Amino acid sequence: MLSNIQKNIILRAVRIRLLEGEELDDILQSYTKLTYAEREEIKALLGA
């Protein structure tokens, strides 16, 4: 389970990487310590 601070940091980093042209699934795969549920939660927060 991610804390709010951890979630906010990851969300900010993911948004930056998306702006640089990376694909969301590739970005989330690079965070190897995230569980499937945490990845899905991040996708939901991003509206993907």
The model's pLDDT over 1-48, given as tens digits with 9 standing for 90+, comes to 889 999 999 999 999 999 999 999 999 999 999 999 999 999 999 997
What does the block give as tokens for 5? Answer: 């601070």
Predicted TM-score (pTM) of the model is 0.87
- How many domains does the chain contain in total? 1
Domain that holds residue 36: 4-46
Burial status of residue 1 (CB atoms within 10 A of its CB: 0-12, 13-18, 19 or more): exposed
Rounded to an integer, what distance in angstroms lies between the CA atom of residue 36 and that of residue 21?
Answer: 23
Rounded to an integer, what distance in angstroms lies between the CA atom of residue 40 and that of residue 48?
Answer: 9
